[in-house]
């Protein structure tokens, strides 16, 4: 699935940033992944293994923080977690719901030497 190409992008970003910060070994990576991206944490971990041969990532631990799908009602401003992909306001039943969470896909931070 698309986890491998997502990891390619993660790794490329890390490589560039590590070079900039003169970091030779990355020890810890925190990745934030919204549930709506459909990226499976296990598959991301598996994809990351591919890059572990590289010195930079050899001792790196990948931590994945999952974010729930969240909505905000455009009618009554009620903020809520979207369960079962039902984009309907639980407070006023309006279908006009703005997506405010669940699409996250970013590297929060990394640590290294």
Partner 1 sequence: MVKVRLAAPVLQQNEEVARENRTFFQKHGIFVLNLMSSPGSGKTSTLERTIEHLAGSLKLGVIEGDIYTTRDAERIEAYGVPVVQINTAGACHLDARMIRPALEDFDFGGLDLLIIENVGNLVCPAEFDLGEDARAVVLSVAEGNDKPLKYPLIFRQAQVVLINKIDLLPYTDCDLSLLEKDIRAINPDLEIFRISARENTGFSPWLSWLKEQVKIKKQKA
Q: Report helix angle 41-49 to 3-20, nearest 10.
A: 60
Q: Which does 86 bind (CB under 5 to 8 A by kind): Zn ion, partner 1, none?
A: partner 1
Q: Are 72 and 1 in contact (CB under 8 A)?
A: no
Helix (H) or strand (E) holding 15, with range, is helix 3-20
Q: Which of residues 8-67 bind partner 1 (CB under 8 A)?
A: 9-10, 12-13, 17, 21, 23, 27, 31, 36-38
Alpha-carbon 27 to chain mean position = 18
Question: 101: exposed, middle or buried (C-beta count within 10 Å: 0-12, 13-18, 19+)?
Answer: middle
Out of 55, 75, 95, 100, the only residue in the binding site for partner 1 (CB under 8 A) is 95
Report what 75 binds from partner 1, Zn ion, none; CB cut-off 5-8 Å by kind.
Zn ion
CB 57 within 8 A of CB 71: no
Among 42, 53, 83, 84, binds partner 1 (CB under 8 A): 84
Contact between 99 and partner 1 by CB under 8 A: the answer reads yes
Q: Which spans of this chain sit near partner 1 (rule: CB under 8 A)?
A: 1-2, 5-6, 9-10, 12-13, 17, 21, 23, 27, 31, 36-38, 84-88, 95-96, 99, 103, 105-113
Q: Which spans of this chain sit near Zn ion (rule: CB under 5 A)?
A: 73, 75-76, 78, 89, 91-92, 94
């Amino acid at each position: 699935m698309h986890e491998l190409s997502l990891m390619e992008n993660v790794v490329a970003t890390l490589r560039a940033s590590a070079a900039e910060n003169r970091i030779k070994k990355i020890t810890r990576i925190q990745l934030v992944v919204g549930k709506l991206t459909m990226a499976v944490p296990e598959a991301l971990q598996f994809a990351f293994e591919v890059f572990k041969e590289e010195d930079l990532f050899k001792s790196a631990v990948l931590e994945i923080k999952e974010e729930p799908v969240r909505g905000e009602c455009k009618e009554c401003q009620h903020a809520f977690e979207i369960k079962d992909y039902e984009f309907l306001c639980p407070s006023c039943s309006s279908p006009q719901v703005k997506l405010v969470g669940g699409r996250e896909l970013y590297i929060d931070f990394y640590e290294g030497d």
